[in-house]
Amino acid sequence: MARDSGNYRTRRMILKDWATEERVMQLAAGLDLEVVKDSSPDVELGIVRHVTWRVVEGLILEYAVDSRSRTSFLAVGGSPAEGVREIERSIEKNLEPWTLRELLSAVDRVSGVGDLTQALLRAGVGSPHDFDRRFFKRIKAAFGHPDSRVRYAGLWATAYSRWSEFRDLIAEMAESDDVDDLRRDARVILHYYAEGREG
- Any idea what the CATH number is for the domain that residue 173 is in? 1.25.10
Domain count, the chain: 2
Q: How far apart are CA 158 and CA 124, in angstroms?
A: 6
Q: What is the pLDDT of residue 1?
A: 66
3-state secondary structure of 60: strand
pLDDT tens readout for residues 27-45: 888 888 999 998 866 666 6
pTM, two decimals, is 0.89
Residue range(s) defining the domain that contains residue 76: 2-95
> Do residues 91 and 108 share a domain?
no
**Burial profile 8-25: b = 16 or more Cβ within 10 angstroms, e = fewer:** bbbbbbbbeeebeeeebe
> Do residues 90 and 104 share a domain?
no
Please give the DSSP secondary-structure letter assigned to residue 112.
Answer: S
Q: Is the dihedral of CA 133, 136, 138, 144 positive or negative?
A: negative
Task: Mark which of 95, 117, 152 sits at the end of a domain.
Answer: 95
